[in-house]
Amino acid sequence: MNDAYEVDTVIVGAGIVGVALARELASAGRDVLVIEREKRHGQHQSSRNSGVIHAGFYYPSGSLKARLCRGANRDLYRYAESRGIPHKKVGKLVVAANADEVVGLQRLAARGAECGVDGLEILDADQARRLEPQLSCFAAILSPSTGVIDPLAYLLSLRGEAEAAGASFAMSCRVVRGELGTAGWRLWLAAEEGMVQLECRLLLNCAGVEAPMLAACLEGYPADRVPPHYLAKGHFFTCTAPVPFNRLVYPVPGSVGLGVHLTLDVDGSAKFGPDVELVERMSYDVPPARAEGFYDAIRKFWPGLPNASLQPSYAGIRAKIGSVGASQDWVVDMPSDHGVGGLVNLFGIESPGMTCAVALAQEVSRRLRVESLL
């Protein structure tokens, strides 16, 4: 086995979760190597998101998402402040377009209260319009602790700290296969110089959308534990007209996504999205024709949106597991769950995964300690 490189801990995926985990484990003194298929970090979900620092009121109380998000929201503002990462606590309105949607709004507010989310307030239409005069709505929830951050500046900061703590990164290197031996995992990597082998004691699968596919290539990992998964693409559009809002504006959420919403970037520029399209393969094109569905969705809360003002911007693909439309928590699949030594899979790390990346890394690290793997 000594024709292969050796390292204690391999993290597959240099998205924000893999990088946050590298920072966490390297800071705890582990010898960590992050392996990333792309030339640069964060090329998938971690840069192709809305950049929203979520408050944590969308998720069932007791779920991992809910348990982590409230504290992660506060910690992320503190972290961004201390590192000079561009961010803004702009606040957000979730709006009911008509009386029928008020039930959904109340359900959301109740969930927020159960999860202990700070400062949520239900507003009637007049109160909401005093905040945002161009807004059309029947009622709204105001979430003052929702904000925005520059996702790549955040990722870069975490990566810098991971490297300063001793973590290494191997880019342009794809893990194609793994096999569990007596000494740990042997991995096959497709690198620029050809196929390379590597051995590690601990293997952490942070491959985002592709985490289930990677798990299926790890010999010994039970095939029936690979979760069903699907690709839910979301497109974003910018607007050529001035957008007259100072806060983020969201509709009452649908079953797969949060609904086409208005997000303000840290520089104040506006974008709309993401919608939901179930796709068969990874592709980030934004067909201009998708704008058609956006006009109706946006005019429910902003009737003044001018014709022909939306321009294709970018797209992202959510790491979805389970059945389409069903509520699904993140899965941290530990050796005590699946019975395979030295392997942790993170499945279904969709939103609010950027907000919670550090909190999730701390949670994984805690579970590793419980299983005497750290």
Ligand X SMILES: Cc1cc2nc3c(=O)[nH]c(=O)nc-3n(C[C@H](O)[C@H](O)[C@H](O)COP(=O)(O)OP(=O)(O)OC[C@H]3O[C@@H](n4cnc5c(N)ncnc54)[C@H](O)[C@@H]3O)c2cc1C
Binding stretches for ligand X (CB under 6 A): 12-18, 35-38, 42-46, 48-52, 54, 174-175, 206-210, 214, 234, 274, 316-318, 349-355
Whose Cβ is closer to ligand X: residue 50's or residue 135's?
Answer: 50
Q: Supply the minimum distance, in Å, between the C-beta of residue 28 and ligand X.
A: 19
CA distance 169 to 33: 6
Distances (CA, A) of 101 to 56, 107, 148: 20, 10, 26
Structure tokens at 15: 């998205």
Q: Supply the minimum distance, in Å, between the C-beta of residue 309 and ligand X.
A: 21
- What's the sign of the alpha-carbon dihedral 261, 67, 147, 160? negative
CA distance 307 to 296: 11
CB atoms near residue 141 (< 10 Å): 22
Instruction: Provide CB contacts within 8 A for 160, sequence distance 6+.
Output: none
Q: Supply the minimum distance, in Å, between the C-beta of residue 162 and ligand X.
A: 13
Q: Supply the minimum distance, in Å, between the C-beta of residue 21 and ligand X.
A: 9
Beta carbons of 297 and 259 less than 8 angstroms apart: yes
Output the residue with the shortest Cβ distance to ligand X: 353
Q: Supply the minimum distance, in Å, between the C-beta of residue 356 and ligand X.
A: 7
Structure tokens at 53: 């620092």
Whose Cβ is closer to ligand X: residue 17's or residue 80's?
Answer: 17
Whose Cβ is closer to ligand X: residue 239's or residue 345's?
Answer: 345
Whose Cβ is closer to ligand X: residue 139's or residue 262's?
Answer: 262
Whose Cβ is closer to ligand X: residue 139's or residue 189's?
Answer: 189
Can you tell me whether residue 95 is helix, strand or coil? Answer: strand
Q: Supply the minimum distance, in Å, between the C-beta of residue 303 and ligand X.
A: 25
For Cα atoms 72, 76, 79, give the angle at the middle one, nearest 5 degrees: 135
Whose Cβ is closer to ligand X: residue 38's or residue 75's?
Answer: 38
Sheet holding 147-149, edge to edge: 52-53, 147-149, 87-88
Q: Supply the minimum distance, in Å, between the C-beta of residue 101 and ligand X.
A: 22
Cα 340 to chain center, whole Å? Answer: 26
Whose Cβ is closer to ligand X: residue 139's or residue 301's?
Answer: 301
| β-strand partners of 169 | 34
Q: Supply the minimum distance, in Å, between the C-beta of residue 289 and ligand X.
A: 19
Whose Cβ is closer to ligand X: residue 174's or residue 229's?
Answer: 174
Whose Cβ is closer to ligand X: residue 135's or residue 264's?
Answer: 264
Beta carbons of 100 and 86 less than 8 angstroms apart: no
Of the candidates 133, 94, 148, the one whose C-alpha atom is nearest the C-alpha of residue 244 is 133
Of the candidates 41, 52, 50, the one whose C-alpha atom is nearest the C-alpha of residue 18 is 41
Beta carbons of 64 and 355 less than 8 angstroms apart: no
Q: Supply the minimum distance, in Å, between the C-beta of residue 302 and ligand X.
A: 20
Of the candidates 215, 200, 236, the one whose C-alpha atom is nearest the C-alpha of residue 47 is 236
